[in-house]
Amino acid sequence: MRHMVFPRVIATDLDGTLLGSGGLVSARNRQALAAAADAGVRVVVSTARPPRETWHISSQFTSAAVLCGNGALAHLPDEEPLVRALSPETAGTVVEKLRGALPDLGFGVETGTGFFHEPGYLLEPWAHRDWVSGVLDSAEELLERTSPIAKLLVRSGGTPVHLLHEAAVETVGSLVEVTYSGGHGLLELSASGVNKGTTLALVCERWGVAAEEVAAFGDMPNDLAALSWAGMGYAMADGHPDLLDPALGLGVAPASTEDGVARVVERLLAGR
């Protein structure tokens, strides 16, 4: 981690990072972010979730920006949303190549306002059926009728997610950004170059904030781009082991279940 300065921006992931047991923002985390905002820090929510599953959390504290869909959708107060979508043509090529390389795949599309999938897409164990906006007859129809393609979701019922990720990067990594934020054989694909790190960088550039003035928190591989870009990147102690590799040079925040974000933010505020 680079030299620590008092941050002008604090960016935090939600699930497994800011959210503790029961998927809630603890009072301590909420109070720490409120204190940071009162001190003039811009607080940014950065999540794989779509906007409709984010607002009820981001509204609990002052958010200067809400980045959803792994950076595909950015919402700043009083500005038009920034949409960094995957083109249907590229998505079609990706589907074709993945089908040729991997068995038993199903595809879904997150638009930001709705989630659609083809019949071969098996819903994740945690997904509610009322989250689904529509089931289309094929992947081809899916890509023709959904817009924008904020995320192309790839689901395998039998391949572990780390193996699925390796194969997808090898097959289509030059065409799209390939990552994941959970288990259950689910990959999240965005337009090439679109991730939490590049979108956070774009937002901070608008504000005139350098990477060295940013603290970022996350727990999964989809957070790595933001944690690596920020001058102060913190992996959660209970996060994915790949982020805890000392070679990455990231800081380690206490576990999400121990108010890890708040503990680090409190320390930063105390050291002003």
List, for residues 20-75, the tens digit of each pLDDT value: 888 899 999 999 999 999 999 999 999 999 999 999 999 999 999 999 999 999 99
For the chain, what is the mean pLDDT? Answer: 94
Name which of 50, 57, 48, 55 is nearest 23 in CA terms.
57
What confidence tens digit (pLDDT) does each residue in 117-161 have? 999 998 877 777 788 999 999 999 999 999 999 999 999 988 899
Q: How far apart are CA 185 and CA 168, in angstroms?
A: 12
Prior bond of 148 cis (ω within 30°):
yes
- pLDDT score recorded for residue 158: 84
In single-letter form, the type of residue at position 251 comes to G
Average pLDDT on 249-254 reads 97
Within 13 Å of residue 11, how many CA atoms lie on the same side as its CB?
38
CATH architecture under which domain 9-83+194-270 falls: 3-Layer(aba) Sandwich (3.40)
At 134, which helix (H) or strand (E)? strand 132-135
The residue-averaged pLDDT of 198-208 equals 97
Architecture label for domain 88-191: 2-Layer Sandwich (3.30)
Alpha-carbon distance of 113 to 238, in angstroms, equals 31
Distance CA 162, CA 186 (A): 10
Domains 9-83+194-270 and 88-191 share a fold: no
Q: What's the Cα-to-Cα distance from 3 to each of 199, 211, 213, rounded to whole Å?
A: 23, 11, 10
Q: Name the residue type at position 213.
A: E
Tell me the domain boundaries of the chain: 9-83+194-270, 88-191
Nearest-CA neighbor of 108 among 160, 150, 67? 150
> What string of DSSP letters covers 11-56?
EE-TBTTTB-GGG-B-HHHHHHHHHHHHTTPEEEEE-SS-GGGTHH
pLDDT band (50, 70, 90) for residue 2: low
